[in-house]
Amino acid sequence: MTASIIDGKALAGQIREEIARDTAEFTAATGATPCLAAVLVGDDPGSQVYVRNKQKACGRAGIDSQLYTPPANTATEELLALIDRLNRDPKVHGILVQLPLPDQIDERRVLEAVDPVKDVDAFHPENVGRIVQGRPRFLPCTPHGILQLLHRNDVATAGANVVVVGRSDIVGKPMAILLMQRGAQGDATVTVCHSRTRNLAEVTRGADILIVAIGRAKFITAEMVKPGAVVIDVGMNRTPEGLAGDVDFEHVKEVAGRITPVPGGVGPMTITMLLRNTLTAARLQTA
């Protein structure tokens, strides 16, 4: 039996309508318009497309956006000076530094320089610590988007065996932490797998919910998936045949119970949660 598709694009559209209504109410009540400042260093084509999509999404939600494009040879100190200006600008509520940065830039210093109250990606150590303690200011965009996909599609996490393949700071680690938290959208038993995991297929076959974020096209095969499992594919890989996820979609969909497509699954939800965080940041700073 073929898996049912978890449509991230449709859900993202629904949530963006909710955000647009909330933003309009906020602006009417305070006179302030939420504003996201995006910093894109260099001219990476993939990053340019991604940032443009974020700007378009902001406009549709009633959120102002600013784009700063320092050249690829920008030094760390120059980028830090720009971040400092944005931190001090009261009209800017959220700051997004598009990753990856050029090799000569100290990425950690840059991310730590962003004011935690404007850190809408939730990368700052203060925000990461708050997430670990279960009292987040913001939730990281991709993991939050996945939680919404599960919750709004009535996928229960409480008591479920969840396997996260990938241990990045952006997806794998925060995803595991959020699913382990007590309460709604949490209470799962979580296993995190990575390049050193032994007998990976045996581990993934035990997952009621399998979340894959490793950046390797079609890495997860049908033999690695428990029949009826929910499969969330975070991957976005460019191949000669076009975009592909980390999951071999055509074969895994014949085993899984529910599955996200690529594109049209997790990606639209990531941008949507960025909009939500920008509105939250505006509320915090206005209050």
Q: Which residues are catalytic?
A: 54, 98, 121
Candidates 276, 219, 266, 213; CA nearest to 58 is: 276
Sign (positive/negative) of CA torsion 234, 238, 240, 241? positive
Q: Residue 161: what residue type?
A: N
- Count CB atoms within 10 A of the CB of residue 87: 15
| Burial state string for 244-280 with b = 16 or more CB within 10 A and e = fewer than 16 | bbbbbbeebbebbbbbbbbebbbbbbbbbbbbbbbbb
Helix (H, G, I), strand (E, B) or coil at 211: strand
Q: What does the alpha-carbon distance between residue 172 and residue 176 come to, in Å, rounded to a whole number?
A: 6
